[in-house]
Amino acid sequence: MDTQTLRNFIKLADTLHFTKASEQVFMAQPALSRQIKQLEEAVGAKLFIRNKRNVSLTKAGIYFKQAAQQTLDQLNYAINRTKQIHNGEAGEIRIGYVHSVMQSILPQIIKEIREEFPNIKTVLREMHNDEQYRDLTEQKIDIGFATNPIVPSNLKSRIFQKDSFVVVLPNHHPASASSFNLHDLAAEPFILPHEVEGSDYVSTVQSICMDAGFLPNVAHHTSSVSSALKLVEAGLCVTIEPKNSLANQKLAIKYIELDKIPQKVQSAILWTENTERDHQPVLDVIRRIIKI
């Protein structure tokens, strides 16, 4: 039993006329009759009642027509879905990202992917750089968005945006932009990720502080930017973050931009050869949005 036999059966079930059905499926009437008889033998049931004047469906034939149509519909759906996945128009794209990218360009990227490929599901995970390196390598995510990455040789990357770092302080902190000297924070408690969770970011912040003549006094560790900012708001610590991380924040905090230092926030997209093979159309859309 093949799909063409099912289609021919459905055509006969619709027309209930062997001559009309044979003409519409471009098949000689005796051949169609033999095919239907073979189909009945294969399913073990009589599907049509035939006499010299009329053709009608049996109860088994009525049921089998519905089942055959559902089978063909499901097969057509599977074929079209497979083509969409092959062409990067369906399936899912798994994206890892750091907090600052979600606060800046990532919502626009997701919106445009959705508009261009409405059948693609986006799976989003906030992750620090090291987690992205690991999960890209293990094919657990397809694309990563990192800041100041030290990219392993097995990954591909492009810098697409540069921004300033800022010192984040509680609103009541006496420091002001007009007279600010980073060294004034040498004795302040800092909150940073643990080096195991964010080695790239921690080393960058350490280099910023060392250029100012001190190492940060790290009193708290968290890899969550939201948690860090809440602790700053509570007056428990200060921190250094990408400026984009503070977008849309409504906390009792303030920031001073470190626009004179050589260290800059470099936002990068990361991907692998597997991404190029399996998600090239989506990757092209993302590249267009971030202009790389």
pLDDT at residue number 279: 87
Q: Of all helices (H) and strands (E), which one includes residue 188?
A: none
Residue 254 — φ and ψ, nearest 5°?
Answer: -140, 165
| Backbone phi, psi, residue 165, to 5° | -85, 155
Confidence (pLDDT) at 63: 95
pLDDT of the residue at 90 = 67
Question: What is the dihedral angle through the alpha carbons of 174, 178, 183, 188, rounded to the nearest 10 degrees?
Answer: 20
Calpha distance 224→203 (Å, rounded): 17
Per residue of the chain (292 residues), give pLDDT as tens: 799 999 999 999 999 999 899 999 999 999 999 999 999 999 999 999 988 778 999 999 999 999 999 999 888 878 877 887 777 766 789 999 998 899 889 999 999 999 998 888 899 999 999 999 999 999 999 999 999 999 999 999 999 999 999 999 999 999 999 889 999 999 999 999 988 777 888 999 999 999 999 999 999 999 889 999 999 999 999 999 999 889 888 899 999 999 999 999 999 999 999 899 888 888 999 999 998 8
Q: Using CA atoms, how far apart are residues 75 and 192, in angstroms rounded to an integer?
A: 53
**pTM of the complete model beyond 0.75:** no
Count the Cβ atoms, other than its own, within 10 Å of residue 54.
10
Per DSSP, which regions of 79-139 are E strands? 90-97, 119-126
CB 163 within 8 A of CB 263: no
CA distance 137 to 275: 11
Q: How far apart are CA 89 and CA 80, in angstroms?
A: 10
Q: Is 93 exposed, middle or buried (0-12, 13-18, 19+ CB in 10 A)?
A: buried
Q: Is 158 helix (H, G, I), strand (E, B) or coil?
A: strand
- Please list the helix, strand and coil fractions of the chain in percent, rounded to the nearest 5, in that order: 50, 25, 30
What pLDDT shows up at residue 286? 93
Q: What is the pLDDT of residue 59?
A: 95
Separation CA 205–CA 201 (nearest Å): 6
Q: Which domains does the chain have, with CATH numbers?
A: 3-86 (1.10.10.10), 90-161+267-290 (3.40.190.10), 165-263 (3.40.190.10)
Q: Are 129 and 200 in contact (CB under 8 A)?
A: yes
Q: How many residues does the chain have?
A: 292
Report the candidate in 107, 135, 104, 121 with the shortest Cα–Cα distance to residue 225: 104
